[in-house]
Structure 1
Amino acid sequence: MIKKTILPNGIRVITEYMPEAYSSTVMVWIDVGSGIEKIELNGICHFIEHMVFKGTQNRTSEHIVQAIECTGGSINAFTEKETTCYYAKVLSNQVSVALDVLLDMVFNSVYDGKNVELERQVILEEIKMYEDTPDELVHDLLIRSFWKGHPLSQPITGIKESISGITRDDIIDFVDKYYVPNNIIVSIAGNFDEDTIMNQLNEIICQHKEAIKTPELPIPTVNSEVKICEKEIEQSHICFGLKGISILDQDRYTSAIIDVCLGGGMASRLFQEIREKRGLVYSINTYEALYRSSGIFGVYACASPVNVDEVIKLTLDEFEKVRESGLSNNEFEQAKLQLKGSLLIGSESTKYRASKNGRAELYFNKVLTIEEICDSIDKVTQDDIQRLSKHMLDTKYLGLSLVCPYEFAPKELSLSC
């Protein structure tokens, strides 16, 4: 059973009891991400994510990790365009420890000046690593060019110039604005004693402070262009971007079905047509990047440079087929089964449930049950597919990025079917 409690200070707590589980996952979500950063502070959310592991008023960095790992647990964090999340997966008798550690990190980190400088160098190395990883770089190039100038186009890690300029005062000021109770969601799933956890939360968290309201971002303008980056590599990495939908749009279930049919696995159209039948790629898949204001429907492929033109043409051909003729009844029903099956299989994991519940509360201000999601998938019709595919697969709103070997950089690429 899923329960939602709002503490007196505004923190929202989502709990889901799973009596059969040996473990529990505790997640602390902050409703802030790289999408609201000023250009000169690009990367500060991710910088803070690093810094909270460097020590608090009560624990050193070593003690933070030891408290979780010494009993077999794990602790980590991630930053996205619209959120930051800190989490730990532990044995069920260690939930109180995990909760105490995570909240200590969020509310009591010291952001020591020496550690700021140390972590700055770590992040600059991380940026270099991504620039040397073509399958990461090609996605970053796509969103930077596709939504050029929009806050969501900024890299989550920041860039060398912005990271070099962020100060300790900048970090503390940002945390004071956004790391406050009514901007925080605690999501716990697993086998734990709810009364004990709620008592602990009420004891630990006593301050009340209103967050700076996260600004609503404008709908990004699509910039249809080709972005090419030459690297000393063997294969070419291709990324398509099309105009997607908002994560708040009820059409997200229709979009998910189109995603599955086009590139959501080995049975998908693109995988079968381009890899299995022609052997032109090693990997090809579709994906969705959905945000509050808009979204991207994307395709990623990795191929020999001599096959790039044909891969692009065949991918655009499949877009046109779905846009003009929709999906067959068989693949339509199979996609629904695949989505529901993945949801049910994933629900066996405490981390999956804690993430699903926390993210739903973050975006929809309510938790969506597995039954509600499955029901929404079942309600999608072929008419919905036909209607949305004409919008979503419209190549008028198509961008492409390519990371390729120096000697194979094309002078031009055609984005026409």
Structure 2
Amino acid sequence: MTADAADEVVEGAMTGAVDKTTLTNGVRIVSRRIDHVRSVSMGVWVDAGARDEAVSEGGLSHFIEHMLFKGTQKRSSYDIAKAFDAIGGQTNAFTSMENTCYHARVMDEHLVTMADLLSDIFLNSTFSQEEVESERPVILSEIGMVEDNPEDHIHTLLEECFWGDHALGRSILGTREQILGYGREDLVRFFSHLYQPDRVLISCAGHVDHEEIVSLLAPAFEGIKARDGFPVRKVPAPLSGVKALSRDIEQTHVSLAWPGLSVTDEMRFASSLMNTILGGNMSSRLFQEIREKRGLAYNVYSFNASYVDSGMVGVYAGVSPDRLTECLEVTNQELMRLCEHGVDQETLDEAKAFTKGNILLASESVDSQMARLASSEFHFGRQLSLDEVVAQIEAVTVEEVRKVADMAFSQKPAVAVLGPDPSEAEIRKVFGL
């Protein structure tokens, strides 16, 4: 750590203190020490993802995520894999619409090796053309895998229908044509453009000392140079309508979306509880009405997808083609009942207990703690303690739940359907589209 780096210590109730260091170039390092575990989870995060791509750059964030494991100046892709395996480490990476993360978990005795490996792949990847060519068919296979899985594919179709031409409406994987067209120069240019130091965050949780982490990482990460021109994120305008795709499969898969809340909206806890009550667990209204009482679907649920400036509230079901209309009618009835009559206090209290339980159980995982550190830092610029989160959940009222339901479901939905000859006219009739 350099003398100019800024240090902070924040008390994280229920899980120990959180330490934060900001390097001179803007790279942030946050950590939480958890004394009762022997493992350490570390993630190198970039506050950039698929929504930061231009139309001509679709899939580059995800392509780069793959390429960072394909060789550095001193390690081949095999060397990287072997080094992680040799310490019993678990490593992976993911690309989302707004973030990219390279992470690993090891026993505390292997912290130095893990830090060196993650630093090396992040800072010294070569993006060799040979490795680009070998990884290209892997990504094409991943695109095919999503298209072969109807439940995955339907969500891609829904995002296209709901977000339209906005970047949130494009696949994180890109198109086949785009992946076939990219070369080393495209990857290096995009990497240099988006992987800016003030958007890089390293989060670490487990049996670890913050000063040790900083001493291991700062010398390497302070070498990242700032560049101009990070793309401005445009606020999307959600759409309604129907996107129907015919496919000869056993079930019809349907997914619906309405405008939701951003990840920092003050009503986000009410929206989360509303989602739990609607279709977030086995006692939820949609699960009980559609699966348990009527046998319309094996898999049915609701979901929230939140971003920095917008969000989506959604419902998914996989049904027999001849019962699609009935399933949609029941869904619409439940939505209207939620808007008009809300929920009683007992139902809300049960949803609160369910939500708190999930959050607190997840807090026992060092991987979950590592991800929470990054999310809080990116979205709030500070750490939200579990005590604070629980207090905000407890403060939600029945009226707030009814309000967020009405905000969403009083609007026309976007509907995506995938199955044998789906009737777009029937779908439009149910929702007045």
TM-score tier by shorter-chain length is over 0.9
- Cα distance between partner residues in 2 of 1:208 and 1:305: 54
2:42 alignment partner in structure 1: 26
Q: Deviations over 1:273-327 (max 9, x none)?
A: 1111111110111111111121111111111111111111111111101111111
Q: CA deviation at 1:374?
A: 0.8
Give the gaps of 5 or more residues in structure 2. 1-16
The 1:260–1:345 alpha-carbon spacing in structure 2 relative to 1, beyond 3 Å, is same
> Is the CA contact 1:271–1:285 (under 8 Å) kept in the aligned structure 2?
yes
Instruction: Give the superposition deviation at 1:379.
Output: 1.6
3-state SS of paired residue (1:53): coil
Partner in structure 1 of residue 419 of structure 2: 404
TM-aligned CA deviation for residue 9 of structure 1: 2.4
**Which stretch of the first structure deviates more once superposed, 31-40 or 93-102?**
93-102
CA spacing shift, 1:62–1:118, aligned 2, 3 Å:
same
Specify the code of the residue in structure 1 equivalent to 2:273: I
CA positional deviation for 1:156:
0.1
Partner of 2:352: 336
1:415 corresponds in structure 2 to 430
- SS of the aligned residue for 1:271 comes to helix
2:335 maps to a residue whose letter is F
Q: Is the 8 A contact 1:188 1:354 kept in 2?
A: yes
Aligned to 2:13: none
Q: Is the 8 A contact 1:239 1:400 kept in 2?
A: yes
Q: Deviations over 1:105-150 (max 9, x none)?
A: 1111000011112212211121111111100100000000111111
CA distance in 2, matches of 1:375, 1:411: 46
Counterparts of 1:201-220 in structure 2 under 5 Å?
Answer: 201-212=217-228, 214-220=230-236
Q: In the TM superposition, what are the counterparts of 1:87-98 in structure 2 within 5 Å?
A: 87-98=103-114
Q: Which deviates more from structure 2 when the two are superposed, residues 208-217 or residues 53-62?
A: 208-217
Match of 2:388 in 1: 372
Cα distance in 1, alignment partners of residues 247 and 108 from structure 2: 47
**Are 1:188 and 2:204 an aligned pair?**
yes
- Contact 1:236/1:302 (8 A) holds in 2: yes
Note if 1:255 corresponds to 2:271: yes
Determine the C-alpha separation between the residues in 2 that align with 1:119 and 1:76: 16
Instruction: Give CA-to-partner distance per residue, 1:317-351, whole Å, 9 cap, x none.
Output: 11101111111111111111111111100000000
Q: Is the 8 A contact 1:247 1:290 kept in 2?
A: yes
Distance in 2, Cα, partners of 1:53 & 1:91? 21
User: Aligned-pair distance for 1:362?
Assistant: 1.4
2:245 aligns with one of 223, 229, 232: 229
1:70-89 equivalent positions in 2, closer than 5 A? 70-89=86-105
Q: Secondary structure at the match of 1:245?
A: coil
- For 1:80, give the aligned amino acid: S
Tell me which residue corresponds to 2:133: 117
Structure 1 residue runs of 5 or longer lacking an equivalent are none
Cα distance in 2 between the residues matched to 1:37 and 1:382 = 40
* 1:291 aligned onto 2:307: yes
Partner Cα distance (1:393, 1:223) in 2:
13
Letter in 2 for 1:24: V
Q: Does 1:243 align with 2:259?
A: yes
Write the distance in 1 (CA, Å) between the matches of 2:149 and 2:176: 17
CA distance in 2, matches of 1:3, 1:324: 46
CA–CA separation in structure 1 for the residues paired with 2:103 and 2:196:
17
**For residues 122 and 198 of structure 2, what CA distance do their matches in structure 1 show?**
13
In 2, distance between residues paired with 1:379 and 1:58?
A: 53
AA partner of residue 40 (structure 1): S
Deviation of residue 410 (structure 1)? 5.8
Counterparts of 1:305-384 in structure 2, within 5 Å, are 305-384=321-400
Correspondence list, 1:144-155, <5 A: 144-155=160-171
Question: Aligned partners of 1:312 and 1:167: how far apart in 2?
Answer: 45
Measured against aligned partners, the alpha-carbon deviations of 1:376-413 in whole angstroms (never above 9, x if no partner) come to 1112122222222211122x33011111135x656542
The alpha-carbon deviation at position 214 of structure 1 amounts to 4.1
SS across alignment from 1:321:
helix
Partner Cα separation in structure 1 for residue 424 and residue 409 of structure 2 = 25
The answer to whether the 8 A contact 1:93-1:192 is kept is no
- Partner residue, 1:129: 145
Does the alignment pair 1:43 with 2:59?
Answer: yes
What SS does structure 2 have at the residue aligned with 1:185?
strand
CA distance in structure 1 between the partners assigned to 2:35 and 2:281 by the alignment: 32
Task: Tell me the SS of whatever aligns to 1:32.
Answer: coil
1:212 Cα deviation from its structure 2 partner: 4.2
TM-score (norm 1): 0.96
Q: Is the 2:299–2:318 Cα contact (8 Å) retained in structure 1?
A: yes
What residue number does 1:143 align with? Answer: 159
In structure 2, the residue corresponding to 1:54 is in which secondary structure? coil
Q: What amino acid does structure 1 have at the position aligned with 2:320?
A: S
Aligned length: 415
Aligned equivalents of 2:173, 2:307: Cα separation in 1: 18
Find the residue that maps to 1:156 and give its secondary structure.
Answer: coil
